[in-house]
Structure 1
Amino acid sequence: MARIGVLGFLHETNTFAPDVTGLDRFEEADAWPGLTEGEAIFEATRDMNLAVSGFISAMQAAGHEIVPLLWCSANPSGPVADAAFETITARIETHLQGLSLDGLFLDLHGSMVTQSLDDAEGELLRRLRAVTGPELPYVAALDFHAIVTQAMVDRTQAMVAYHSYPHVDMADTGARAARMMQRLLAGEAFFAAWRKLDFLVSMPWQSTLGDEPAGALMAAARALETEDCPEVQFIPGFPLSDTPESGPAVLVYARVPARANHAVQTLVQAIEARRTAFNGRLYAPDEALDALAGRDAGRYILADTQDNPGGGAAGDTTGVLRALLDRKVRQACVAVLCDADFARAAHALGVGASIDLPLGGRGFPGDEPATGPFEILALGDGRLVGTGPFYLGCRMDLGPMVRVRRDGVDILVSSRKQQAADQAMFRHLGADPRDYRMLVLKSSVHFRADFAALADEILMIKAPGANTADLHDLRFKRLRPGVEIR
């Protein structure tokens, strides 16, 4: 039986977002647990679709002892405050001091940027290696949008990234990490080969649902895997990180260098052949409503991708909502708009009352609030359990929530931002997404896991928000030379 340390420190950093992510954002719960230390990690993450949950379950089933250290995440947002990074890293180092371990599992995102560090995970690994030494087996789980660096590869024995977007396989990725850890503990060694690609892919076009292009590339990667080459990975990266290392990567682990290098070359060729396929249409709100005008039946999803909290946006812009109201669209619902002050005031008034306060429109320059009055239809405390494939088992705490209506349009309002990727958010406020003809979801791709089957058509919307979908709208200043913006 081996003794394995477990930790997590996750943040997806949108360097174009205006906010700075402080320690409080890691301490508070949202869709996932707040900062948790020691034995409490077991209960806080149990049965969730998280890599740490899958790793712990698999290793315990194999008879190994788990030593939980610290786990935390913060919703995607602007650069992590240096003070927050230093505080959390110091706590992890303290947990590791003098600890006898046979291996260490790290649940990481892979695209954390701080006020001073482009490669926060690489620096975290450097500091932890100073405590544990270079030989202790490190296996890390990475997000599908990780930005792989040489420092990360050099300071781990293996890294495994999610295969899917929507990320329905996070717990499965933890189980894959457990298999790699057990092989390392058994004395196997793996050669790492990897390649950085010189283009960026916008988030909406990274979806692995369907055949092309990302779904086909994931299938191509799986076809290259063997017992001697257990991990062949295409990791598309997070395009809203303006750093020299940004961009997709291919990462392979094999028992012999030649096998790893061959797999890298083969998969890179397949990706390059599909480079131009990473695209799609973005609609302005009025363009989308024009395209759907006159249709008598069906259910349609407008993905408000640029205000997706899962990409660092505020989750409170009103561009699509105001278009619905201006066009007098009925039987529509906007979810989930974050406005803690509005939700608090609605709770004070109660169900059935009218609330005439501005709603949203404060988190992005140039946006404006939606005006009332709104009818208060339902209230909730924001504590719910995810039931869809992405948020499965996640015990969310979104703060006071309210469902309001104006002129035939319902709006789900939360106090903490979270992308609309689970139908449980609707049910928490007494709503059923099937009752609406038009769903406006503040999400880019994750919503597809639980909502796509409801829709006759999905349109990607370009409305105000910091999760920029057309990368040509951004001014990148720090990319390495030669990187193409797709």
Structure 2
Amino acid sequence: MTKRVAIAGFLHETNTFAPTKARYENFEQGGGYLPISRGGEILERCGGVNLGISGFIGYAQQAGWELVPLLWTGAIPSAHVEKSAYERIAGEIEERLRTAGPVDGLLLDLHGAMVAEHVDDGEGELLARLRAVVGPSVPIAASLDLHGNITQTMVDKSDVLVAFRTYPHIDMAETGERAAAQLGRLMTRGKPFAKTFRQLPFMIPLPWQCTMIEPAKSLYAQIDGVETGAVSSASILTGFPAADFEDCLPSILVYADTQGAANSAANKLEREFLDREGRFAGKAYQPDEAIAEAQRLAAAASRPVVIADTQDNPGAGGDSDTTGMLRALLKGGATRAAIGVIVDPDSAKRAHSAGQGARVELSLGGKSNIPGDAPLSATYQVDKLSDGRFKATGPYYGGADMNLGPSACLSIDGVRIVVATYKAQMADREIYRFVGIDPEDQAILVNKSSVHFRADFEPIAEAILVATAPGPMALNAADLPFTRLKPGIRLSPNGPAFKREEAIKRAG
């Protein structure tokens, strides 16, 4: 008998310390995601791109399910989702599910680290509302980002949560397939899995969560060893360390036929995780140091040295407009260098008004009021203009159609700058090429990204450095003004424990 399965998605990664909140129009536009899609639009737009919802669709078609597409939307990371935006989107998903008729299962494409102005646990709240619609017997499965901050409510109100296993996230669609497969098992077995949920006691800086390098590489390799026999699904989530609430933590999820099997697998993964705590660290450079080291390496290299401008990563809530690394490039006399993306709608507009080949005075970037940052006022050459539309072909975006709005390549003193109207993480070489910059021909590339860029840039990189120019996504969580974390949590691997009373006093 054909299974009737509803599918929906609502994705946002929330940095509660970021300068700009997520408005409804951000979900409409989509940023690095697709624009908001309803009903049949989901099936038309989501196939063949690297998203969980795409994996749902592919698996369901192979399984012969009848899909009931509700609503799918995502916005690029930022501060809290505005209450009006959350309620409008969550309310529409709930209403569409309510009027969809009986379903055998519900598949959700979620992030796992959404915080709204009025709700700390964005996904838990959504799951609770949707559970109330379908009732206790309809299985609910969800795909999650590896950076999810998992709550007990999320675990209780769903039947299985399945997380990415790669960072850069090149397995988003694959994770959607795995989540759909778990839903299929639940619909066939007619009863829920046993569950085990564990939280880990320390936070991990984003660059060192990368699964292409140790210790995360070997940690994630442990999943295959436990996901056998009675264990149906296991996930490790390294967490998103920039959300000020109690469940901002790494975690482990295991689903199995028996509670004993679930507990045993979770015990093994927890031991492997804890044994690696001290190895979740790495070398980071101050801006001038990063440029000097990149120039030293580039002098004898035939490939570009890539620098991650990690603290202004738009994939972690930054506005992608700080100028610290651009200043360091100019101060160091770097040539054959490029940086992107600096998001500055006014500068992009003025570049278009001036025209290609013109010289124009601009106060570029630096408009997010980040301490230690400011606009860089100078005369720039307009090298190339673009409407901002192109296809991102690298492994992370996976063929997504991008729209960065009116954009330009500006240059100054041997440094070329990708300037755009809308935010997108510099995680694809096409984000240089669409404004005429060939990334392979540069000596130094500065990417506003923490890790996702590695998927497309590591194959061409002589070396990869991490730099800490001023920005809203502190590399070390101990530098963030937390007040609401779980007491005793270590703010970095083997680092200081969080003391709530002292933190509240410091906050004023």
Output aligned runs, 1:355-394, within 5 Å. Answer: 355-366=360-371, 367-394=373-400
Q: TM-score, normalised by structure 1?
A: 0.98
* Pair 1:447 & 2:446 matched: no
Q: Secondary structure at the match of 1:460?
A: strand
What is the deviation of 1:294?
A: 4.2
Residue 416 (structure 1) aligns with: 422
Would you say the 8 A contact 1:2–1:64 is kept in 2?
yes
What is the deviation of 1:340?
A: 0.8
Q: Distance in 2 between matches of 1:318 and 1:46?
A: 37
Out of 463, 468, 473, the residue aligned to residue 462 of structure 1 is 468
Would you say the 8 A contact 1:364–1:465 is kept in 2?
no
Output aligned runs, 1:217-256, within 5 Å. Answer: 217-256=219-258
Would you say the 8 A contact 2:317–2:473 is kept in 1?
yes
Once the two structures are superposed, residues 416-448 of structure 1 have per-residue CA deviations (whole angstroms, 9 ceiling, x without a partner) of: 011100011122112210110000000000000
Residue 479 (structure 1) aligns with: 485
Residue 323 (structure 2) aligns with: 318
Q: Distance in 2 between matches of 1:290 and 1:8?
A: 44
Residue 31 (structure 2) aligns with: 30
Q: Distance in 2 between matches of 1:324 and 1:415?
A: 23
What is the deviation of 1:227?
A: 4.0
Out of 285, 288, 292, the residue aligned to residue 287 of structure 2 is 285
What is the deviation of 1:474?
A: 1.2
Superposed CA RMSD: 1.2
Once the two structures are superposed, residues 380-438 of structure 1 have per-residue CA deviations (whole angstroms, 9 ceiling, x without a partner) of: 11111111100012111110110011010000111001110001112211221011000
Q: Distance in 2 between matches of 1:450 and 1:463?
A: 23
Would you say the 8 A contact 2:292–2:332 is kept in 1?
no
* Pair 1:352 & 2:357 matched: yes
Amino acid at match of 1:241: A
Q: TM-score, normalised by structure 2?
A: 0.94
Residue 104 (structure 1) aligns with: 106
Q: Distance in 1 between matches of 2:127 and 2:459?
A: 41
Residue 43 (structure 1) aligns with: 44
Residue 83 (structure 2) aligns with: 82
Which stretch shows the higher mean deviation, 168-177 or 297-306?
297-306
Q: Secondary structure at the match of 1:164?
A: coil
Residue 155 (structure 1) aligns with: 157
* Pair 1:190 & 2:196 matched: no
Query: Which 4+ residue blocks in structure 1 deviate beyond 4 angstroms?
Result: none
Q: Secondary structure at the match of 2:394?
A: coil
What is the deviation of 1:77?
A: 0.4
Q: Secondary structure at the match of 2:327?
A: helix
Q: Secondary structure at the match of 2:321?
A: coil
Amino acid at match of 1:384: F
Once the two structures are superposed, residues 226-272 of structure 1 have per-residue CA deviations (whole angstroms, 9 ceiling, x without a partner) of: 14212121111100011111100010011111111000011101111
What is the deviation of 1:364?
A: 3.5
Q: Distance in 2 between matches of 1:372 and 1:19?
A: 26
What is the deviation of 1:292?
A: 3.6
Q: Distance in 2 between matches of 1:294 and 1:193?
A: 49
Q: Secondary structure at the match of 1:355?
A: strand
Would you say the 8 A contact 1:303–1:441 is kept in 2?
yes
Q: Distance in 1 between matches of 2:349 and 2:431?
A: 18
Equivalent pairs: percent with the same residue?
44
Output aligned runs, 1:256-271, within 5 Å. Answer: 256-271=258-273
Runs of 5+ consecutive residues of structure 1 not aligned to the other structure: none
Residue 297 (structure 1) aligns with: 300
Amino acid at match of 1:196: Q
Q: Secondary structure at the match of 1:12?
A: coil
Distance 1:91 1:360, change over 3 A: same
Which stretch shows the higher mean deviation, 183-192 or 307-316?
183-192
Q: Secondary structure at the match of 1:289?
A: helix
Q: Distance in 2 between matches of 1:346 and 1:287?
A: 31
Would you say the 8 A contact 1:364–1:464 is kept in 2?
no
Residue 496 (structure 2) aligns with: none
Would you say the 8 A contact 1:218–1:234 is kept in 2?
yes
Would you say the 8 A contact 1:364–1:466 is kept in 2?
no
Q: Distance in 1 between matches of 2:117 and 2:294?
A: 44
Residue 498 (structure 2) aligns with: none
What is the deviation of 1:174?
A: 0.5
Runs of 5+ consecutive residues of structure 2 not aligned to the other structure: 493-508
Once the two structures are superposed, residues 7-49 of structure 1 have per-residue CA deviations (whole angstroms, 9 ceiling, x without a partner) of: 0001100011132222111111322112211111112212110
Q: Distance in 2 between matches of 1:47 and 1:444?
A: 25
Q: Distance in 2 between matches of 1:293 and 1:55?
A: 45
Once the two structures are superposed, residues 262-293 of structure 1 have per-residue CA deviations (whole angstroms, 9 ceiling, x without a partner) of: 00011101111111111112111111123344
Once the two structures are superposed, residues 174-227 of structure 1 have per-residue CA deviations (whole angstroms, 9 ceiling, x without a partner) of: 1101111111121254111110111111111100003x2111110012211114
Q: Secondary structure at the match of 1:121?
A: helix
Distance 1:294 1:119, change over 3 A: closer
Amino acid at match of 2:416: D
